[in-house]
Structure 1
């Protein structure tokens, strides 16, 4: 089968499609014929070599950890799903390899009818991450939340999930994305110099939590929150130096070493929440672009431009 991988550090051009052996569903897992799979921004950091001193990498490195498709193998002990079912979900954290013709999923849920294959293919990772951080921040009804980088893959989903919890959401993005953020339920503002003052003007009673999806602004985000314990980042590798928690679900031998923080428990219950919200028309998975597997390098280039609005996906 075809699978996306890279065999050396370097620019996007080192990413390529290779012919590899098909995986099979072991106990407790299922295999899907992939229709679409998510692109992982974190894998661009690994591919570039930026994390070579702190994240052990074995080549070839197979990419992708979430996907959607049609079930074609069911492992021992699995119930409630059968070949032919349409699902979306995630691989085991250390397995990856979802950017391929076939993928083995360790967690899954029925694909919402309201979502296209591209939306479903990029949903699980963003939903799990957003749910994990919102849970850690205990975001609920009546709270005010700042989402830094609200127009990105995780930010767009975090905004909608926080709104569904009854929170008021302020989201940062470039001005060209402000109407888009309003359509998701957030009050937009720009990032950069003057952020603290702009947020205080929008939330004079203060902000209860800050969800950082962008990185690079932790001092300002701590000032907004008034307490570093009320800030969680998924994007800033300087988090520990600022006393801020960096949330990730990577195995201990991967990103955890880079950020000095153990993995948080995966919020897989978020997949069920997503199904319900999608059925109500309250959760979209904005797709920035969909590339065929053979153009995976172009997906890396778009990600590194930091201009993608929503999730980048690969389609089969």
Structure 2
């Protein structure tokens, strides 16, 4: 270990498999270089795609060993040359390609944003990937007040944020979810519809004048129902399954965009956007965190925290 680096624990895996392949290992984190910050980890949001990659069920393949985690929040503990926008002690959140689930996170300053006062770090930790994914997907459809959209898995990490963003823009939102989440959806201005068998008929009854666009976070069930109802394929967006198999769109998050992160955090701060935390686990219990995530039927984000 060099004098400029610091010891850290990091969640990694060396083989494809279930949550049991996850290990909390000792690594070293370098001093921040040009344009970088080093953040003392406070919390990090789990994402379903990370579980799919680890299990070998994604088209995304990463070289082993894989350092786990993309979303994070924490406090800046060191800044590299050329960083003028952040200082030691700033509360920030952001996203990196991998390796965010560690005691210390090294990241380009260009992929982090400040956490506003009053926004818990656990909540901020789920905004950089899930939040911007929702934002970018919604932006891709050029919607306006009065449009009618369907959001599947509408109480989940991405779906819950996307639905609320749309409501704030005056769009009518129908959200599919389990019955246990219907009351929360109503509280956020989203009209709940039960997923599962009979979905097409329930959607037709709820929106008899038609559906403008569909945002899928669940899988083929939602896409097939939308196509059967005559929603044009180009107006259906999925991040949950192979879009090409259904001839629909696949717009997820683009490059990390700090102004979007600032806007999302501001919406949380003023109460427009509610990001529920389904459960929190310390880094040492990251296996249990992924087991909980992969069981499904969640409201909001699963988060790992510093010890």
TM-score when normalising by structure 1: 0.88
Return the offset for 1:307.
2.5
Return the offset for 1:26.
3.0
Contact 1:196 1:224 in 2 (8 A): yes
Return the offset for 1:21.
1.1
- Kindly report which structure 2 residues correspond to 1:7-22, keeping only aligned pairs within 5 A, or say none: 7-22=14-29
Taking structure 1 as reference, are residues 226 and 191 closer, same or farther at Cα in structure 2, changes over 3 Å only? Answer: same
Taking structure 1 as reference, are residues 177 and 228 closer, same or farther at Cα in structure 2, changes over 3 Å only? Answer: same
Q: Secondary structure at the match of 1:188?
A: strand
- Kindly report which structure 2 residues correspond to 1:34-113, keeping only aligned pairs within 5 A, or say none: 34-51=41-58, 54-91=59-96, 93=97, 96-106=98-108, 107-113=111-117
| RMSD of aligned Cα (Å) | 1.7
**Residue 298 (structure 1) aligns with:** 288
Structure 1 stretches of 4+ with a deviation exceeding 6 A read none
Contact 2:10 2:27 in 1 (8 A): yes
Provide Cα deviations, 1:174-202, integer angstroms capped at 9, x if missing partner: 11110011122200001122222212222
- Residues in 2 aligned to 1:265 and 1:112: alpha-carbon distance in whole angstroms: 22
Q: Secondary structure at the match of 2:262?
A: helix
- Residues in 1 aligned to 2:107 and 2:212: alpha-carbon distance in whole angstroms: 35
- Residues in 2 aligned to 1:100 and 1:219: alpha-carbon distance in whole angstroms: 40
TM-score when normalising by structure 2: 0.91
- Residues in 1 aligned to 2:257 and 2:136: alpha-carbon distance in whole angstroms: 5
The unaligned stretches of length 5 or more in structure 1 are 250-263
Taking structure 1 as reference, are residues 26 and 247 closer, same or farther at Cα in structure 2, changes over 3 Å only? Answer: farther
- Residues in 2 aligned to 1:224 and 1:83: alpha-carbon distance in whole angstroms: 54
- Residues in 1 aligned to 2:141 and 2:80: alpha-carbon distance in whole angstroms: 35
Contact 1:131 1:267 in 2 (8 A): no
- Residues in 1 aligned to 2:214 and 2:259: alpha-carbon distance in whole angstroms: 22
Contact 2:286 2:304 in 1 (8 A): yes
Contact 1:147 1:169 in 2 (8 A): yes
Out of 240-249 and 153-162, give the one that drifted further. Answer: 240-249
Equivalent position to 2:192, from 185, 188, 191 = 188
Q: Secondary structure at the match of 1:20?
A: strand
Asked if 1:3 is matched to 2:10, the reply is: yes
Provide Cα deviations, 1:68-117, integer angstroms capped at 9, x if missing partner: 110112233322211101111112x3xx1111111123312211223222
Contact 2:178 2:297 in 1 (8 A): no
- Kindly report which structure 2 residues correspond to 1:1-316, keeping only aligned pairs within 5 A, or say none: 1-51=8-58, 54-91=59-96, 93=97, 96-106=98-108, 107-217=111-221, 218-224=223-229, 226-236=231-241, 238-249=242-253, 264-266=254-256, 268-316=258-306
